[in-house]
Amino acid sequence: MQVRETAISGLIELIPRVFEDERGHFFESYNKTLFTSLGLPMEFVQDNQSFSVKGVLRGLHMQNAPFAQGKLVRVITGQVLDVAVDLRPDSPTFGQYETFLLDAKLANMAYIPEGFGHGFVALADSVFSYKCTNVYNKAAESGIIWNDPDLNIDWGITNPIVSEKDIELKTLREVFPDVVV
Ligand SMILES: Cc1cn([C@H]2C[C@H](O)[C@@H](COP(=O)(O)OP(=O)(O)O[C@H]3O[C@H](C)C(=O)[C@H](O)[C@H]3O)O2)c(=O)[nH]c1=O
């Protein structure tokens, strides 16, 4: 397993070793002993899976404390541009984001710590799978509108398919009025 750190503390990409042979391929998508040895001792308590047709954008979502979720995200089929935004008010990188091109053929993953806004756009019909460090709590759900002017995220797409719920998400300044952007 290769680990690629990013400019944002705690936000990393993980590239597993893929074993290929004439039948196809095999890789470990999660191994607690290995993750602990890599400094990733978190406990995952819920697995999620979604299917998105090409052009769908889900996010930016997060859950407020005490239901904040760390997420180990990957694509089972297809390809997505995954976006993680640092929304930890005390973080020196608050408002900064990283993108990850997650591709089923690469089998690459990202670990997104608690306190981050998360979203992705499907670059092909894609099955998205992720492990969470906390359970779903609807009342704790929050998020930022995908095209927030301060975040100015380059999603690589102009007219994504966005849910009615996500269209109503607030801006960064509305959600964090006391944090200097
Ligand atoms: C997240 C979640 C949703 N649901 C139900 C609630 C809705 O009736 C239905 C669809 O939920 P939603 O439209 O919020 O699904 P996504 O837009 O894929 O949300 C996810 O998208 C972004 C990318 C994330 O990182 C979050 O994990 C999550 O917010 O599933 C559940 O029953 N359990 C859950 O954990």
Q: Is the CB of residue 37 below 6 angstroms from any atom belonging to ligand 1?
A: no
Range of the domain at 127: 2-175
CATH number at residue 59: 2.60.120.10
Q: Is residue 96 part of a domain?
A: yes
Q: Is residue 100 part of a domain?
A: yes
- pLDDT, one tens digit per residue, over 54-113 is 999 999 999 999 999 999 999 999 999 999 999 999 999 999 999 999 999 999 999 999
Specify the number of domains making up the chain: 1
pTM here?
0.97
Q: Is the CB of residue 119 below 6 angstroms from any atom belonging to ligand 1?
A: yes
Q: Is residue 150 part of a domain?
A: yes
Nearest Cα residue to atom 8 of ligand 1: 138
ipTM above 0.90, yes or no: yes
- pLDDT, one tens digit per residue, over 39-67 is 999 999 999 999 999 999 999 999 999 99
Alpha carbon distance 107, 57 (integer Å): 21
pLDDT at 8: 97
Q: Is residue 48 part of a domain?
A: yes
Q: Is residue 12 part of a domain?
A: yes
Q: Is residue 104 part of a domain?
A: yes
